[in-house]
Amino acid sequence: MNEKQPIVQLVDVQKFYGDNHVVKNCNLDIMPGEFLTLLGPSGCGKTTTLRMISGFEKPTYGEVRLGGQNVDQIPPFKRNVNTVFQNYALFPNMNVADNVAYGLKVRKRPKSEIKKRVTEMLKLVQLEGFEKRKIAQMSGGQKQRVAIARALINEPKVLLLDEPLGALDRKLRKQMQIELKQLQKKLGITFVFVTHDQEEALTMSDRIAVINEGEIQQLDTPQKIYDEPATRFVADFIGESNIIDAVAMGEDGDFLRVGTENGQAISLMADSNIQTGDAVSVAVRPQNMQFSLEPVDHFSIKGVVSDHIFMGHMIKMIVKLNDGSTVRINRFGEDELAPVGQVINLYWEPGKSRTFRNKSWFKTNSVVDLQEAVDEANATHF
Amino acid sequence: MKPTPHTSEKKSLKDRLSAIVLCGPMTAWSLLFIVVPIVILAVMSFMTKGALGVIVPKFTLANYKALGDKVYLNVIVQSLIIAGWTTGLTILLGYPFATAMARMRARTSGVMMVLLMIPMWVSGLVIIYSFVILLNHSGIINTFLMHIGLIKSPKSMLYTNFSVICGMLYMFLPFAVLPMYSSIEKLDHNLVEASQDLGASPVRTFFKVTLPLTSPGIFAAVILTFIPCVGYYMVTDMLGGGTSMLIGNLIDRQFTIARNWPFGAALSMVLAIVIFAMVGIYTKLGGNLDDLG
Amino acid sequence: MKQRENRRASDVFLKIVVAVVMIFVYAPVAVMVVYSFNNSRANMIWLGFTTQYYKQLFQDQYLWSIFGTTLIIAAVATAIGTVVGTLGAVGFRKHQFFGKELIHYSMYFPIVIPEIVLGVALLLFFDRMGIALGMPTIIIGNATLILPYVYITVNARLVGMDPSIEEASYDLGADRGYTFFHVILPAIMPGVLSGAFMSFSLVLDELIVTSFLASARITTLPIKVYSMVKKGVTPEINALSTIILFVCLGCVAAWLIVGGIKQKREREARERALNVD
């Protein structure tokens, strides 16, 4: 088989529950050996997508292919993928060894082989000596390891993990994240990981598919997703962003000038996709947000500092804009702070913001009206 | 244009096979031995009785009209009185008993429950025969009461409504305690404390908080007592001495002595309909059918 | 202070109720036990101590054969009810089909309607179908009576079962049959067993449905007991019941002792597990 051939393919997959369109036109190629995360808020269709790969759900339209083969007619128990379930789904009537051995017992492998493999798997997840333990006597983290060992004993080509760390406390979760990533590297198995925790997704994945309302918003490496979010949703969901909704008003030299509803204007790096009159969202990370006491060229966003929040390694400045919305600015170490109550001008370096075209959110569509509002605001404030 | 959905999203052959193996036997059993017999019972209640108990397939309402007869009305009223008394006493004794159990440690309350059930496992009927010995004219209770000087001459207690109610209470109290216990035990004690914290007296708290919240258990107990009470003719046979007759006895008679099956069927239908109405109210009030098991 | 007094007052009241109920329940039991040693057939007056009814009980061939019949009926009816009810509960949770609601609700019929109505309905059914009364009709009647109990207890267990363990089994390569016997059945076993136990004890004691469906040639222990009790001739029955009573009490004592030991062991095991973490 060709090295470049994707191991899991979703082709034009759609899923309906009655009238409920849960997965909308999903196309996804998962490559052998990669750690791919399906990331999104609860109810976004990520678990349904995973369950279509494992075979517990069937797509309403489209195809799921494993190793290039359409698996529509293949029930879950004949697919060479295994799942680590959300609440582990360990068999309560069996001890640790019997749980792990289950996949091999089903296949009627010889006893000696089963015993050897179970020992190997328990060693892999660092649970040697726990063979005879009952499931009820295991802690959350231990159950998690048993579930992983049980899923891996069949040597699946793809391991599906459905929010496997959701039930663990924060410290244990961090530790398991690292262990899982190391395990995946060591075994070279493809992991498809479902989570709603963006931090988890960023630290573990080779690639992330960000999903919202049944649609893949962006599929890329964690770095790219963080630095260059493709949609307003991704910018908001991954990391922290200040999002300013505005309308493109026209060119301003090399820049694009946008105005907000309440009469503030910004000039941004020109983007060929955006035309005058388009509704746009401008996203700026808090650490890229700058302020000045003096007016700044190309920017006319003013706000009042309303609070300082101490976060340990940084201080978050909360700035209230005149439309009531807030903007957050992260200040590190020796960075200068503006006192609470101070009026400041906000700006950022060119290229440190992302601009997205929105479908339609704006109430006033007339650019002329907007320009007047901006002029008026400038006249009163400056 | 929308593509056509996969046919595979529908059930596969093996899915159907699994459905048939799992659901088939119970579905067949229920249709054959529950649904069809009830339908036959309903039809039979409109049939005419011929000579020597032969059933004539001729539609009539006579069986239902006969219920208006004074003799039968008496039986129905008496059934309701006895069932009502039994149910009332069951709740009055069972509810505090269940409360006491809920206050005990889990193991102790388990033991109490078992102690309550043991006579039922042995055989309630054999044991309630002891009431004959306890309650008769020269029986233990009369002798005892006369001995301590509470009464001068023996009271007749056996073969009265009193002895029947004693027997009924004996048969059904254990089963009625269970649902009341489980709803009292489930009651969030914080609510009781919150009520008292807000200044309500214990009595007020009981009537405003505890009782309403445990009412599903009480209603389940009512149904568990009332329903079998109306139909349970053995107790009246043994402790009623022919003086009291319940609907159950009347139905039994139609099949054993009178051989008037259509009338017996009509009586059974009336009984079933009354019970369904009660259960309907129970579920409307938020009761769970499973608690009646 | 006042609250504590109230609590004490209510505790006293509850204790009195418990005492009253226990006397009410056990006074007739005591009478039964005592009179099983009464040297009188009529069973009304105390005529001295004897164990002759225990001896008679063990020699009474007829009673033992009835007891055997009753056991067979109970065992077969329980087996049918348990298998059909368990399969049904599992299937009804998983599958959808036309008329499922009707069947589901019909399962509550035998529980909510008085037994006498079920007995009458089945009698009419067998009569119309031209099926002669006898052992099979008794078994069918009793199985119908207990089927709902199994269905409900297994259902309750299924509600508490993590549904993903079934999927986990398929995921690991097991087919439907293997999954049913190795994962689902063990998980719902406590429900199946308690349903079966309840059913068995119900059938052993069943009188109303059985008496409607029994022919003249066949008698079960409850029917025999009832006819004897009705006539007031009961010393052997008292003896039998006394034996059953003490067997029950013995079981409870054993259960308490074994339960205590098990509880202690489990607590120790849990502590050990927590220490490892």
Q: Which chain A positions have a beta carbon within 8 Å of C170's beta carbon?
A: 55-56, 75-77
CB contact under 8 A, A61 and B8: no
Cα–Cα separations (whole angstroms), residue A12 to A26, B45, B135? 5, 62, 83
pLDDT band at C111 (very low <50, low <70, confident <90, very high): confident
Which residues numbered 74-113 in B keep a CB inside 8 Å of some CB on C?
93-94, 96-97, 99-100, 103, 107, 111-112
Using a CB–CB cutoff of 8 Å, tell me whether B293 touches chain A. Answer: no
3-state secondary structure of C169: helix
C-alpha span between A175 and A144 (Å, rounded): 12
**In the beta sheet, which residues pair with residue A314?**
A332
- Per-residue DSSP letter, B8: G
CB A104, CB A117: distance < 8 Å:
yes
* C168 vs B293, more confident: C168
Token digits for A39? 């990331």
Which residues numbered 183-222 in B keep a CB inside 8 Å of some CB on C?
196, 202
Residue C171: name the closest of A153, A118, A360 by CA: A153
Strand order in the sheet with A279-284: A265-269, A255-259, A242-252, A279-284, A353-357
Instruction: Determine the pLDDT at residue A301.
Output: 83
**Ranges A157-166, A252-261, C96-105, C207-216: which has the least confidence:** A252-261
Using a CB–CB cutoff of 8 Å, tell me whether B263 touches chain C. Answer: no
Chain B: nearest CA to A129, how far in angstroms? 35
pLDDT band at B5 (very low <50, low <70, confident <90, very high): low
Highest-confidence range of A11-25, B22-36, C103-117, C190-204, by mean pLDDT? B22-36
Token digits for C273? 């597990």
Burial class (CB in 10 A: 0-12, 13-18, 19+), A345: middle
**Among B30, B136, B292, whose Cβ lies nearest the Cβ of C112?**
B292
- Amino acid identity for residue A198 in this structure: Q
Q: What is the pLDDT of residues C23-57, one digit of tens each?
A: 999 999 998 898 888 887 766 677 788 888 888 88
- Compare all CA atoms of chain A with the CA of B4 and give the residue at the minimum distance: A61
3-state secondary structure of C110: helix
CB contact under 8 A, A82 and C171: yes
Token digits for A236? 């908001």
Residue C210: name the closest of C117, C128, C141 by CA: C141
Residue A304 has pLDDT above 70, yes or no: yes
CB contact under 8 A, C165 and A139: no
* B37 vs C114, more confident: B37
**Ranges A161-165, B140-144, B185-189, C3-7: which has the least confidence:** C3-7
CB A221, CB A206: distance < 8 Å:
yes
Compute chain A's Rg from CA coordinates. 26
**In the beta sheet, which residues pair with residue A250?**
A257
Using a CB–CB cutoff of 8 Å, tell me whether B50 touches chain C. Answer: no
Length of chain B: 293
Q: Whole-number mean pLDDT of chain B?
A: 85
Three-state secondary structure readout of B23-55: HHHHHHHHHHHHHHHHHHHHHHCCCEECHHHCE
Compute chain C's Rg from CA coordinates. 24
Token digits for C97? 């089909």
Token digits for C12? 């006293």
Q: What is the mean pLDDT of residues A361-379?
A: 52
**In the beta sheet, which residues pair with residue B222?**
none
- Compare all CA atoms of chain A with the CA of C266 and give the residue at the minimum distance: A137
Using a CB–CB cutoff of 8 Å, tell me whether B3 touches chain A. Answer: yes
CATH superfamily, domain B66-292, is MetI-like (1.10.3720.10)
- Per-residue DSSP letter, B237: I
pLDDT band at A382 (very low <50, low <70, confident <90, very high): very low
Which chains border B (3 or more CB–CB pairs < 8 Å)?
Answer: A, C
Residue A62 has pLDDT above 50, yes or no: yes
- Compare all CA atoms of chain C with the CA of B199 and give the residue at the minimum distance: C3
3-state secondary structure of A257: strand
Q: Which chain A positions have a beta carbon within 8 Å of B14's beta carbon?
A: 75
Q: What is the pLDDT of residues B11-41, one digit of tens each?
A: 677 888 888 999 999 999 999 999 999 999 9
Q: Which chain A positions have a beta carbon within 8 Å of B8's beta carbon?
A: 58, 72-73
The strand pair at A61-66 and A69-70 is best described as antiparallel
Q: Which chain B positions have a beta carbon within 8 Å of C148's beta carbon?
A: 293
Instruction: Determine the pLDDT at residue A361.
Output: 45
**Ranges B47-51, B79-83, C165-169: which has the least confidence:** B47-51
Which pTM does this prediction carry? Answer: 0.80
pLDDT band at C4 (very low <50, low <70, confident <90, very high): low
Using a CB–CB cutoff of 8 Å, tell me whether B61 touches chain C. Answer: no
Domain ranges of chain B: 66-292
H helix and E strand count, chain B: 14, 2
* Mutation site, B6, B10, B16, interface A, largest A CB count within 10 A: B6
Which chains border C (3 or more CB–CB pairs < 8 Å)?
Answer: A, B
Q: Which chain A positions have a beta carbon within 8 Å of C174's beta carbon?
A: 77, 102, 106
Q: Which chain B positions have a beta carbon within 8 Å of A59's beta carbon?
A: 6, 9
H or E segment to which residue A207 belongs? strand A207-212
pLDDT band at A49 (very low <50, low <70, confident <90, very high): very high
CB contact under 8 A, C17 and B279: no
Residue B172: name the closest of B274, B276, B288, B89 by CA: B89
Length of chain C: 277
Q: What is the mean pLDDT of residues C252-267?
A: 82
**In the beta sheet, which residues pair with residue A20?**
A17
Residues whose CB falls within 8 Å of the CB of residue C82, separated by 6 or more in sequence, listed in order: C150, C192, C195, C196, C199
C-alpha span between C208 and C211 (Å, rounded): 5
Domain ranges of chain A: 8-233, 242-381
- Compare all CA atoms of chain B with the CA of A12 and give the residue at the minimum distance: B3
CB contact under 8 A, C167 and A92: no
Chain C: nearest CA to B35, how far in angstroms? 7
Residues whose CB falls within 8 Å of the CB of residue B4, separated by 6 or more in sequence, listed in order: none
Q: What is the pLDDT of residues C208-247, one digit of tens each?
A: 999 999 988 888 988 888 888 777 766 788 888 899 889 8
Determine the straight-line distance between the first and last CA of chain A, rounded to whole angstroms: 68
Q: What is the mean pLDDT of residues B54-65?
A: 85
Q: pLDDT > 90: what percent of chain B?
A: 23
Residues whose CB falls within 8 Å of the CB of residue C77, separated by 6 or more in sequence, listed in order: C138, C139, C142, C143, C146, C199, C203
| 3-state class percentages of chain A: helix first, strand second, coil last, to nearest 5 | 30, 35, 35
DSSP per residue, C70-105: HHHHHHHHHHHHHHHHHHHHHHHHH---TTHHHHHH
Using a CB–CB cutoff of 8 Å, tell me whether B10 touches chain A. Answer: no
CB contact under 8 A, C187 and A82: no
ipTM of this predicted complex?
A: 0.84
3-state secondary structure of A342: coil
C-alpha span between A364 and A246 (Å, rounded): 11
Angle at A180 between CA A176 and CA A183, to 5 degrees: 135
Residue B33: name the closest of C132, C142, C205 by CA: C142
Using a CB–CB cutoff of 8 Å, tell me whether B141 touches chain C. Answer: no
- Amino acid identity for residue A256 in this structure: L
Interface of C with A (CB under 8 A): 162, 164-165, 167-175, 178, 182-183, 186-187, 189, 269-270, 272-274, 276-277
CATH number of C61-276: 1.10.3720.10
Q: What is the pLDDT of residues A172-196, one digit of tens each?
A: 888 889 989 999 999 899 999 999 9
User: Which residue shows structure tokens 């000045």?
Assistant: A292
Using a CB–CB cutoff of 8 Å, tell me whether B290 touches chain A. Answer: no
Highest-confidence range of A55-69, A251-265, B48-62, by mean pLDDT? A55-69
CATH number of A8-233: 3.40.50.300
Q: Which chain A positions have a beta carbon within 8 Å of C165's beta carbon?
A: 89-92
Residue C160 has pLDDT above 90, yes or no: no
pLDDT band at A73 (very low <50, low <70, confident <90, very high): confident
CB A212, CB A181: distance < 8 Å:
no
CB contact under 8 A, A58 and B9: yes
- The string over A154-176, giving b where at least 16 C-beta atoms fall within 10 Å of a residue's C-beta and e elsewhere, is bebbbbbbbbbbeebeeebbeeb
Residues whose CB falls within 8 Å of the CB of residue C217, separated by 6 or more in sequence, listed in order: C134
Q: What is the mean pLDDT of residues A152-169?
A: 89
Token digits for B210? 């505890």
Cβ neighbours of C261 (radius 10 Å): 10
Q: Which chain B positions have a beta carbon within 8 Å of C6's beta carbon?
A: 202
C-alpha span between A53 and A251 (Å, rounded): 47
- CATH topology agreement for domains A8-233 and A242-381: no
CB B262, CB B272: distance < 8 Å:
no
Residue A381 has pLDDT above 70, yes or no: no
CB A15, CB A57: distance < 8 Å:
yes
Residue A253 has pLDDT above 80, yes or no: no
Instruction: Determine the pLDDT at residue B38.
Output: 94
Using a CB–CB cutoff of 8 Å, tell me whether B114 touches chain C. Answer: yes
Chain B: nearest CA to A60, how far in angstroms? 5
Residue B221: name the closest of B121, B127, B31, B94 by CA: B94
- Could you give phi then psi for residue A207, rounded to 5 degrees? -135, 155
C-alpha span between C213 and C204 (Å, rounded): 15
Q: Where are the beta strands (DSSP E) in chain B?
A: 48-49, 55-56
H or E segment to which residue C202 belongs? helix C185-205
- Compare all CA atoms of chain C with the CA of A101 and give the residue at the minimum distance: C172
Q: Which chain C positions have a beta carbon within 8 Å of B129's beta carbon?
A: 32, 229, 232, 234
CB contact under 8 A, C91 and B196: no
Instruction: Determine the pLDDT at residue C168.
Output: 93
C-alpha span between A336 and A341 (Å, rounded): 15
3-state secondary structure of A179: helix
Q: pLDDT > 70: what percent of chain C?
A: 93
**Ranges A8-17, A248-257, B255-264: which has the least confidence:** A248-257
- Amino acid identity for residue C260 in this structure: G
* Mutation site, C11, C22, C112, interface B, largest B CB count within 10 A: C112
- Amino acid identity for residue B68 in this structure: G
Determine the straight-line distance between the first and last CA of chain C, rounded to whole angstroms: 44
**Ranges A148-157, A334-343, B233-242, C264-273: which has the least confidence:** C264-273
Residue A357 has pLDDT above 60, yes or no: yes
- Compare all CA atoms of chain B with the CA of C235 and give the residue at the minimum distance: B126
CB A99, CB A135: distance < 8 Å:
yes
Q: Whole-number mean pLDDT of chain C?
A: 87
* A117 vs B147, more confident: A117
Using a CB–CB cutoff of 8 Å, tell me whether B5 touches chain C. Answer: no
Instruction: Determine the pLDDT at residue B7.
Output: 47
Using a CB–CB cutoff of 8 Å, tell me whether A45 touches chain B. Answer: no
Which residues numbered 49-68 in A keep a CB inside 8 Å of some CB on B?
58-61
Q: What is the pLDDT of residues A243-252, one digit of tens each?
A: 888 888 877 7
CB A65, CB A72: distance < 8 Å:
no
Domain ranges of chain C: 61-276
CB contact under 8 A, A60 and B9: yes
Q: Which chain A positions have a beta carbon within 8 Å of C164's beta carbon?
A: 85-87, 89
Q: What is the mean pLDDT of residues B271-281?
A: 86
User: Which residue shows structure tokens 């994707």?
Assistant: A6
CB A248, CB A259: distance < 8 Å:
no
- Compare all CA atoms of chain C with the CA of A100 and give the residue at the minimum distance: C172
Sign of CA dihedral A156, A160, A161, A162: negative
Residue B234: name the closest of B172, B167, B134 by CA: B167
C-alpha span between C168 and C161 (Å, rounded): 13
Which chains border A (3 or more CB–CB pairs < 8 Å)?
Answer: B, C
Angle at A193 between CA A188 and CA A197, to 5 degrees: 135
Residue A266 has pLDDT above 80, yes or no: no
CATH number of A242-381: 2.40.50.140
Residues whose CB falls within 8 Å of the CB of residue A253, separated by 6 or more in sequence, listed in order: A267
Burial class (CB in 10 A: 0-12, 13-18, 19+), C44: middle
CB A352, CB A299: distance < 8 Å:
no
Q: Which chain B positions have a beta carbon within 8 Å of C115's beta carbon?
A: 228, 231-232
